[in-house]
Amino acid sequence: MQMRLSPLPFLFLPFLLLSLVPASPRPADAAQLMAIPATQAVDQGEKDSDENVVKKAKPSQSVETLIQEEHVLFNQQFTLEPGFTYSQFDRKQLAVNGFSALDAIFLGNISVDSVEANFLTMDLTARYGLMDRLQLDFDLPFLYRRTTFQSTANNGGATVEEEITMDPELGDVSAGVYWQLVKERPGSPDVVWSFRGKAPTGSDPYGVQTHDVPDTGLINIPNELSSGNGVWGASSGLSLMKTMDPALLFASLGFFYNFKGHFDDIASTQPGQQPGEVKLGNSFQYSFGMAFALNESLSANISFSHRFTKKSMTKLDGGDWVKIVGSDANAATMSFGANVAINKHLSMVTSVGIGLTADAPDMLFSMKFPYNF
């Protein structure tokens, strides 16, 4: 019998780590504490003390970029950030009856030996600071997808495959607001509250027609792929950051809610349209990590994220809600990143992620280029 450990004890680990961090010897902003130190003597005539006064150099650009990506940086007026993220899933012996959010994103039956899904997301993100504690952002994604279904043929054991490709399409756009609740002090971390909304601007996966490959195990293969999930969504969370010279500790908690959506057809494998509602499972995520500055132009970080997603449900008009078996997920990822300051306005942010659970992508790679005006 397989035992399942409750994830609740681990959810408080980021706060425990932050509470154990000793107080900083002097109050300052996180970016200042992470800066490369510089000392400067002050004439004794200007001070009553005979000791030299230690001053901080301007925070390095790589550190500011790191804080912006992992937390929020409020001293930038406007930032434009193009970038891309590639993710790859590889599933063996897949047999899904119902809703598959990672591989096909459609309602129906799949019975194959292997599914390999590739996602390329190209984002354009804009950030604007209205004041020293308030920031807004807007994300415009475009998706390219390629999914390959493989199975062993019934007439001799030969392996056959079917490849479905989606040209770049607009995904689900999102916008967010960030408010700094508490500025970092010697005895407390920097705390930021965030709220984001997502609009179903991408193509939805419901009512997508399917086809069979004769004399093979490939049945109910979708004719097309989608660039969105078809429903409105909202998320809210807290982000915490604490400096411990020369390192930076960060953690976050977030809840993701999906609203119900009604569609003209939610059963692609049945003849004729069958209107109904879809309620995608809500998610809860926590993450924590550490970052440090190597020099004025280079910084590095390591982080862990864990996301739990509840089962999705569907309801045909006039029927009852039915939970989709296998639609829940437990995705954990370990990520390693580096930030490079190219010049005083432009930086490069890279990250490589490794999936630790079956529901997480096998590999993630992202590269972003934030430009500060």
* CATH code assigned at 179: 2.40.160.40
With a cut of 60, say whether residue 318 has pLDDT above it: yes
> What single letter denotes the amino acid at residue 211?
H
| Residue-level pLDDT at 152 | 65
Report the domain count for the chain.
Answer: 1
Q: Range of 254's domain? A: 8-372
Q: What is the pTM of this model?
A: 0.76
| Residue-level pLDDT at 20 | 44
Block residue for tokens 């309801």:
315
Position 2 in a domain: no
Position 350 in a domain: yes
Position 3 in a domain: no
Residues 250 and 240: beta-carbon distance below 8 Å? yes
Position 192 in a domain: yes
Position 1 in a domain: no
Neighbouring CB atoms inside 10 A of 73's CB total: 24
Q: Which of 88-97, 110-119, 225-234 has the lowest mean pLDDT?
A: 88-97
| Residue-level pLDDT at 52 | 41
Higher-confidence residue: 230 or 11?
230
With a cut of 50, say whether residue 18 has pLDDT above it: no
Position 37 in a domain: yes
| Residue-level pLDDT at 2 | 38
